[in-house]
Amino acid sequence: MEFYGYRRAEGRPGIRNHVLILPTCACGSETCRIVASQVRGAVNIVFNTGCSDVAANTAMSQKVLTGFAWNPNVYGVVIIGLGCETVPHDELRKKIQAQTSKPVVSFGIQEEGGTLKTIEKAVRAAREMAAEAGQQQKEAFPMSEFLMGIECGGSDATSGIASNPAVGNLSDRLIDLGASTIMSESIEWIGGEHVLARRAASPEIHDQIIKICEDYERHLLAAGQDCRAGQPTPGNKAGGLSTLDEKSLGCIRKGGTRPIVEVLEQAARPTKRGAIVMDTAGYDISSVTSMAAAGCQAIIFTTGRGTPTGNAIVPVLKVTANEHTFSWMEDNMDVDLSAIIRGEWSLEESGARLLEKIHAVANGHLTKAEAYGFSDIAVDHVCRFV
């Protein structure tokens, strides 16, 4: 099986060819939005941090921003900063240029003399990049060059018994074709981490999975908090999930059954191919953000309750096995797997259907969130001031 993508000098090919308008901080986000609106083929993100932060949070912000720029779906980058943020635009540009040969330019709003002058220069630069990107031809690549993120959010009882296992079957199919997948949200392994750890390809990886969950619970207890206070969420409970353990046992099924070859920190890029897990928060938007920064070309997102979320850089394919949700939120849901619940499709059949769907997305089919232009970004902070 092959897909058609855009060759990159470094790393995997892109399945999209975006010009990314990238803010260094929250103060540059609105200017980026205006620039992107003036250039066909450009996308922007709204960034909510980047200034007045502790060192660890600044490092995480930089990791995410450079990861966005490095993502294979991005052809080139126009950076816009304010001028007094923690990491200025020219420094971020140099970091990105040190990791990629993509075209990258940057502007500072204070240096250029305000918003309108910055917009004028940035739009010209973005249009030049978009014209270059439009000349690039797609090429055929083996599925071994594909990296898919796996996410769940707004889960209900149908998630753990139908859509998550079907996505797990898809993950196995992709890995058998030589592709790679990343599953995140480590708080939602708690209670089922021992089951997940059995898939570890080595004792070291097994121990890493267990330690992530132990460390997270310890961290919260030190602050006088219990992760079970927020998990499951009210929506999860309304959908039939009663405990975090129950939620976790359903959550980990979407990762499939193949050996786990690597455990990544948040937003880190994989160094191996196969089934991978990433240590992220349980908030689905921040997990999607981290997997996009890690280089995923597409993300499959299971939901029982329904969600509109999308990402500007990476197409997000929304899957549900709740017949009511698919009908009620047809504007947001891409795939209906409720036939599993009715006993009409097996998990094997459903995995095969999902492979067809994700293959179509890899070849250019727009997901619903992508067609709307949805862009949800959240960066998980190490700590914050109150």
Structural contact between residues 167 and 319, judged by C-beta atoms closer than 8 angstroms: yes
Burial bucket for residue 286 (CB in 10 Å: 0-12, 13-18, 19+): buried
Q: Which of 147, 382, 143 is nearest to 262 (CA)?
A: 147
| Structure confidence at residue 232 (pLDDT) | 62
Q: Which of 79, 13, 113 is nearest to 5 (CA)?
A: 13
Q: Which of 378, 360, 381 is nearest to 310 (CA)?
A: 378
How large is the greatest C-alpha to C-alpha distance in the chain, in angstroms?
64
Helix (H, G, I), strand (E, B) or coil at 254: helix
CA-atom Rg of the chain in angstroms: 20
pLDDT cut 70: percent of the chain above it: 93
Q: Write a three-state SS string for 133-188.
A: HHHCCCEEEEHHHCEEEEEECCCCHHHHHHHHHHHHHHHHHHHHCCCEEEECCHHH
pLDDT of 39 over the 60 cut? yes
| Structure confidence at residue 385 (pLDDT) | 41
For residues 310-322, average pLDDT: 97
Structural contact between residues 216 and 190, judged by C-beta atoms closer than 8 angstroms: yes
| Structure confidence at residue 217 (pLDDT) | 80
pLDDT in tens, 114-166: 999 999 999 999 999 999 999 999 999 999 999 999 999 888 888 899 999 99
The rounded mean pLDDT for the chain is 92
Helix (H, G, I), strand (E, B) or coil at 315: coil
Amino acid at 181: T
Q: Which of 260, 280, 256 is nearest to 198 (CA)?
A: 260
pLDDT in tens, 180-220: 999 999 888 888 899 999 999 999 999 999 999 888 888 77
Does the domain formed by 18-135 have CATH 3.30.470? no
pLDDT of 233 over the 70 cut? no
Distance CA 145, CA 197 (A): 26
| Structure confidence at residue 138 (pLDDT) | 97
The confidence band for 231, taking pLDDT boundaries of 50, 70 and 90, is low
Domain ranges of the chain: 18-135, 141-372
The confidence band for 386, taking pLDDT boundaries of 50, 70 and 90, is very low
The confidence band for 230, taking pLDDT boundaries of 50, 70 and 90, is low
Handedness of CA 341, 358, 314, 197 (dihedral sign): positive
pLDDT in tens, 339-371: 999 999 999 999 999 999 999 999 999 999 999
| Structure confidence at residue 260 (pLDDT) | 98
For residues 30-44, average pLDDT: 97
pLDDT of 329 over the 80 cut? yes
Burial bucket for residue 133 (CB in 10 Å: 0-12, 13-18, 19+): buried
Distance CA 253, CA 257 (A): 8
Residues 6+ apart with CB under 8 A from 284: 151, 152, 153, 154, 185, 301, 307, 309
pLDDT of 253 over the 80 cut? yes
Handedness of CA 53, 55, 56, 60 (dihedral sign): positive
pLDDT of 237 over the 50 cut? yes
Distance CA 83, CA 11 (A): 31
The confidence band for 302, taking pLDDT boundaries of 50, 70 and 90, is very high
| Structure confidence at residue 241 (pLDDT) | 59
| Structure confidence at residue 250 (pLDDT) | 73
Structural contact between residues 332 and 308, judged by C-beta atoms closer than 8 angstroms: yes
The confidence band for 82, taking pLDDT boundaries of 50, 70 and 90, is very high
